[in-house]
Amino acid sequence: MTVGNLRNAQLKINLQAIYANIHHAKERLDPGTELFQVVKADGYGHGAVQVARVAEKAGATGFCVAILDEALQLRQAGITEPILVLGITDPEFASLAASEKVSLTVGSTDWLKRAAKLLEDSHFTGHLNVHLALDTGMGRIGFQTPDELKNALGILEANDDSLLFEGIFTHFATADSPDDTYFKLQYQNFQNFMAVVDQRPRYVHVANSATSLWHKVCGGNMIRFGISAYGLNPSGREITDLPYQLQPALSFTTEIDFAKLVKKGHSIGYGATYTTDSDQWIGTVPVGYADGVPRAMQGFSVLVDGQPCPIVGRVCMDQFMIRLPHQYPYGTMVTIIGKSGDAEITADDVADYLHTISYEVICGFSSRIRRKYL
């Protein structure tokens, strides 16, 4: 997608905030525990390469992504630290991952057998680093029983010339919840799995951002630090007690590119869903749902000169309209996320309005919106 460099609309990314968030997390880790920064989905919309570089400076010793292509993007940018693909990669790309020193997640014995055969057929000289995923209750990917895990360990041992058992991990489904009942169940399941592992691999990791913030018991030597690096609370508003202050790194600003006085009784936007009940100043803003401002944002208030201005009419693909308290000139700043005067809109505010979570909000901004790094 073309980047809108010639349009006044941008995500401003505060790299110092990201550095501070990661640095605070590192300070709380037990000695010998590493931090891998999660930069999947283009660094949660912040820019994967840019985030990776500042994370290195803050003390991250590796990275996690969702798909192999994201790992290769980091390698092409000169990132040399360990990279783990958290999703399942087709075994046919095992030799490519191995050649780029990218670690892959495995959740079945069939995958291991096929990858070992493909690596043998390709005459690849070296190892593919694998991390075994354990399904302790997330219900997503991973081995489901200790017996399955034991079989997988046997396959790894039989193919140690091509497959290296580098890591083992699980993912908690409710680490961001005040109720830790299910968390404790998952942790016990993890312990049951680990009972069949005679020799631990280099990396044992169970902690995401929420786990690292609120659960001291983890039994690992590496954390996967995700949403909190970007300054957002993984619990939204459920748990507000934080061990350190998170600094949001992202703001979203644009401008009024057209303003007009609309007489009483005139409708605004597709479907004529809003009709003025008085003479009103209406401003047009040059971003829309193609940029990551959903149609469901109708009625939400953005900030102009520190004042809330509601979105009136349906959000269009490339524009939306707002009701202004009075006339503002072309080029007046509009803040969708961030501070304006004494007022502020957070990603959680947007998420609450959309009945979703901040993760979806920040990952939803399209590549058409330019990223400006501060």
321 annotated as ligand-binding: no
Which three-class secondary structure state does DSSP give residue 306?
coil
To the question of whether residue 317 is assigned a binding role by annotation, the answer is yes
State residue 219 phi and psi, 5-degree precision: 70, 25
Integer Cα distance of 103 and 123 in angstroms: 19
DSSP β-ladder status, 258-262 and 250-255: unpaired
Per-residue buried b or exposed e for 76-91, using 16+ beta carbons within 10 Å of the residue's own CB: eeebeebbbbbbbbeb
The separation between the first and the last C-alpha atoms of the chain, rounded to the nearest angstrom, is 23
Cβ within 8 Å of residue 271, ≥6 positions away: 314
d(CA 344, CA 365): 19
Measure the CA–CA gap between 89 and 76, rounded to whole angstroms: 19
Phi, psi torsion values for 72, nearest 5 degrees:
-65, -35
Q: How far apart are the C-alpha atoms of 188 and 122, rounded to whole Å?
A: 40
Residues whose CB falls within 8 Å of the CB of residue 192, separated by 6 or more in sequence, listed in order: 146
Name the token pair of 26.
């590192």
Beta bridge partners of 203: 167
Return the CA Rg of the chain.
Answer: 24
Q: 19, 40, 44, 328: which is the annotated catalytic residue? A: 40
Tokens of 153: 């360990």
Is residue 359 part of the annotated active site? The answer reads: no
Cα separation of 313 and 301, whole Å? 12
Instruction: Name 250's bridge partners.
Output: 13
Q: 197-228: string of b/e by CB count within 10 Å (b at 16+)? A: beeebebbbbbbbbbbbbbeebebbbbbbbbb
The catalytic position among 57, 264, 270, 372 is 270
SS3 for 351? Answer: helix
What residue type is 316 in one-letter code? C
Residue 330 annotated in active site: no
Question: Would you please indicate which residues are annotated as catalytic (active-site) residues?
Answer: 40, 270
Binding positions for substrate: 140, 317
